[in-house]
Amino acid sequence: MGRTAASGAERGVTMRDVAKAAGVSIKTVSNVVNDYEFVSDATRKRVSRAIDELGYSVNVSARNLRKGRSGIIALVVPDLQMPYFAQLSSLVITEAKKLGLRVIVEPTLYSREGELNALHGTQTGMVDGIIYSPLELGQDDVAELDVECPLVLIGERIFTDRVDHIATENVEGAKRATSYLLQTGCRRVAVVGVHPGETVGSAALRFQGYREALEESGVEFDPALVVPSVMWHRSDGERAMNDLLDAGVVPDGVVALNDMLASGVMHAIQMRGMNVPDDIAVIGFDNSDDSQYLSPSLTSIAPGLEAVARLSVRVLNDRIDGRLPLGVADGAHVFRKVASTLVVRESTRPLN
């Protein structure tokens, strides 16, 4: 009434109103609201009742101003629709909630500009910290990471000792995948989804792991078994596998650099009347949610996203609170590589 009824949030009932209604001072109301321990039960009750009756709720903006905090962090990712980042976001939000933080998700939509904007744009204010997972920025852009608020870097595109960094085991994971195929009897293992010429980023690192595994097992590297694909969609995997088979190259195992590629690879194999894993074993990467729903269900490398999420949020929270993250010297920065694990399902042959 009275007013234009505009004002979104509170109806205007403040601590002062509550104080008056309960016959106490503002400070006492504040104490109750913030669960300050030295408040007599009697007053606490009176105040609580007044709060309920007036429908009071604290004005978060005022609190933020006073405390110099917003309780909000930004999560910057390329694209919410990619299973990998959707899962990461989901986990980060869950983890943040545990620590009383809320998350603003900022998709940069694969644009360099978007990624820079998330760091230096006008919208930057009000977040206490940033979890940053770039796909476009590269090693040359290290300087851009120098921002006002704490920042935790995720991924394998940039390496620097100037910010906290949580990385995943791309090399090791791909190596483990390849080794597993070799151990289960594969001799001609193809790799699908390579980005020729790249030296940083998931594709390059995973391909490196593939090569290391071959080398370690004494299996000779065969360029004919390497299938490039810039995009990593299902149809790319299908096309890649068809190209390979059309060229007369028949592997007995395939390492796909992500699960969607793997899905397409399996489909191509099955469409030719061959069996996965008996004729050709297939292994994926990312252990995305639907790898278990494929048929056969897909053996995959789980990058440990839970750990990535947990660590990122925790480290960021420590920085925000001005604490040193666990196990880091003053002035130094966190660098953690999260262990990946092999999730064995039906698309590969058993170990014996």
Contacts with a second copy by CB under 8 A lie at 4-11, 57-62, 64-65, 68-70, 72, 79-81, 83, 86-87, 89-90, 93-94, 102-107, 109, 123-129, 148-150, 233-235, 238, 260, 264, 267, 270-271, 289-290, 292-295, 297, 320-322
Stretch that binds DNA, among 50-58, 263-271, 317-325, 340-348 (CB under 7 A): 50-58
| CB 335, min distance to a second copy, A | 19
Our CB check for a second copy shows the closer of 6 and 351 to be 6
Amino acid at 171: V
- What are the φ and ψ backbone dihedral angles of 315, each rounded to 5 degrees? -60, -45
Please give the torsion angle defined by the CA atoms of residues 273, 277, 278 and 279, in that order, rounded to the nearest 10 degrees.
50
| CB 72, min distance to DNA, A | 16
Our CB check for a second copy shows the closer of 25 and 123 to be 123
Q: Tell me how far apart the 2 most distant CA atoms of the chain are, in Å.
A: 88
Stretch that binds DNA, among 15-23, 148-156, 162-170, 215-223 (CB under 7 A): 15-23
Of a second copy, DNA, none, which one sits near residue 14, judging by CB under 5 to 8 A according to partner kind? Answer: DNA
Q: What angle do CA 219, 214, 240 make, to 5 degrees?
A: 105
Our CB check for DNA shows the closer of 127 and 152 to be 127
31 binds DNA (CB under 7 A): yes
CA distances to 258, 294, 300 from 82, rounded to whole Å, are: 12, 17, 17
CB neighbours (10 Å) of residue 211?
A: 16
Our CB check for a second copy shows the closer of 217 and 270 to be 270
CA 242 – CA 267 distance, rounded (Å): 10
Please give the torsion angle defined by the CA atoms of residues 160, 162, 168 and 170, in that order, rounded to the nearest 10 degrees.
0
- Cβ–Cβ < 8 Å for 88, 133: yes
